[in-house]
Amino acid sequence: EIVMTQSPATLSVSPGERATLSCRASQSVGSKLAWYQQRPGQVPRLLIFGASARATGIPARFSGSGSGTEFTLTISSLQSEDFAVYYCQQYHSWPPITFGQGTRLEIK
């Protein structure tokens, strides 16, 4: 099973600033990495797939990068609606599909 580790657990950033979230895989997942956003009380939403492709309707301020075992989600110029929990997920080697434990992005 591939273990996904996200850091930091909590990230405090001011509105308008940039946020950088990290995800590490215990072994290479190539580019088969997705990112999700989950606002409180809501269903997760797909942001990024294939490590860097934005899903339909996702604003350009969200970008993904990386390959192999190291990945980054960058949110430029944070908006109020961006404060949420973010999860990475690998789909390179499955079953099982595995998620990271999440990074909580909070307002500074």
Residues within the interface to other proteins (CB under 8 A):
1, 32, 34, 36, 43-46, 49, 55, 87, 89, 91, 94-102
Q: How far is the CB of 46 from other proteins (least distance, A)?
A: 5
Distance of CA 107 to the CA centre of its chain: 17
User: Residue 34 or 78: which CB sits closer to other proteins?
Assistant: 34
Asked, as a colleague might, if the bond just before 95 is cis with ω within 30 of 0, I would say: yes
SS3 81: helix
The CB-of-85 to other proteins minimum distance in angstroms stands at: 8
Closest separation in Å from C-beta 26 to other proteins: 16
Termini Cα distance of the chain:
35
Which amino acid type is present at position 107? I
Cβ proximity to other proteins: between 13 and 91 the closer is 91
> Which residue reads 């989600």 in tokens?
73
